Amino acid sequence: MTCCSKIDILTAPFTPISLGQLNAKAEMMARIDNKYVMPRATFLDLIPDFAQAYDVLEIDGKRAFSYDTRYFDDADCSAYFEHHQGKRLGFKVRARSYVDAGLCFLEVKVKGQRGMTEKYRMPYDPADLHGLSDEAAEFARTTYGRQYGKPFPYALAPSLDVSYRRITLVAKSGGERITIDTDLRFLSDGKVLAAGTDRFIMETKSANGRGHADRLLRKAGERPTRRCSKYCIGMALTGRVTRYNRFIPTMRKLGLHPPACGQLKRPFGMDEPAVGVVGVA
């Protein structure tokens, strides 16, 4: 069974909703996230309950969309290690291509009060994926400084590519959305690792972290998966870092394992073929 046919089976029971309707109901640029890693079979069992309460994003007849993301970090992998150490004032900087929509944004994620994730973004030229443009670097510095009240000391360069297919659900009552990611692929310096289409990362996004989806998942025996950052998992899997113990449970849930050898000797190779990242051959 192909990836697309598997996704069609998952999304068929849901009522479609447009992007405009979804944003009007639940844009969720500031929210509390919970992530769950589960096998495909688990979500199949939950579909009847979810279909009663949620609609699915549909654009031009599609209900699953390709996302290609290039992450940026400094030579010390500060974004990775600040997340690994659980620092409250962490950050992520990435260029994300919404492939099916033909859009690309530079996105900066920071933490707000009560653990809330806040995302800020600006349109980005895919031709600048080889490194941050001056405008993008200033956007990252300004966003970080405004959020945390201190300078942004990091000299960023490309560190990891991640691609996946995403289904997006939105609560019929509004104020809550869910993303379901599958077919994850991680690439750095020519190394590619894939999680396949039978494992999902489901992320619930709500104002207080206790949405209806969280209740449905808990009732089914699912609990949020801590340490579930795609960026951090990818950095460990591709050998870019050697300290990753906190992410091993999540990697196991995804059916993936970090390399036995040490850290890669070379930095992220921009001359290597990237996986599905727009603008990179």
Coil/strand/helix, residue 101: helix
Judge contact between 36 and 29, C-beta under 8 A. Answer: no
Which residues contact residue 68 at a Cβ distance below 8 angstroms, ignoring those fewer than 6 apart?
A: 96, 97, 99, 161, 162, 163, 275, 276, 277, 278
Look at 215-224, 234-243, 267-276 and tell me which has the smallest mean pLDDT.
267-276
The residue among 91 and 275 whose pLDDT is bigger is: 91
Coil/strand/helix, residue 263: coil
Burial string for 54-73 (b: 16+ CB within 10 Å, else e) reads bbbbbeeeebbbbbbbbbbb
**Residue 56 pLDDT > 50:** yes
Q: Give the pLDDT score at 262.
A: 43
Strands (E), the chain: 15-17, 30-39, 54-57, 65-73, 91-98, 103-111, 117-123, 157-171, 176-188, 191-196, 199-206
Q: Give the pLDDT score at 127.
A: 86
Q: Give the pLDDT score at 260.
A: 61
What domains can be seen in the chain, in order of their start residue? Answer: 27-253 (3.20.100.30)
Query: Binning pLDDT at 50, 70 and 90, where does residue 17 land?
Result: very high
Look at 26-35, 71-80, 201-210, 248-257 and tell me which has the smallest mean pLDDT.
26-35
- Taken in order 37, 40, 44, 47, is the CA torsion positive or negative? positive
Q: Give the pLDDT score at 29.
A: 60
**Partners of residue 17 on adjacent β-strands:** 57
Q: Average model confidence (pLDDT) for the chain?
A: 85
Most confident region among 62-71, 123-132, 258-267 by mean pLDDT: 62-71
- Taken in order 96, 99, 100, 102, is the CA torsion positive or negative? positive
Query: Binning pLDDT at 50, 70 and 90, where does residue 280 land?
Result: very low
Look at 39-48, 109-118, 225-234 and tell me which has the smallest mean pLDDT.
109-118
Q: Give the pLDDT score at 196.
A: 85
Judge contact between 71 and 230, C-beta under 8 A. Answer: no
**Residue 240 pLDDT > 70:** yes
Q: pLDDT exceeding 70 applies to what percent of the chain?
A: 87
**Partners of residue 81 on adjacent β-strands:** none
pLDDT tens-digit profile of 181-214?
999 999 987 778 898 889 999 999 887 778 899 9
pLDDT tens-digit profile of 103-160?
999 999 998 876 678 899 999 998 888 889 999 999 999 999 999 999 999 999 999 9
**Residue 266 pLDDT > 50:** no
Half-sphere exposure for 267 (CA within 13 Å, toward CB): 11
Q: Give the pLDDT score at 89.
A: 79
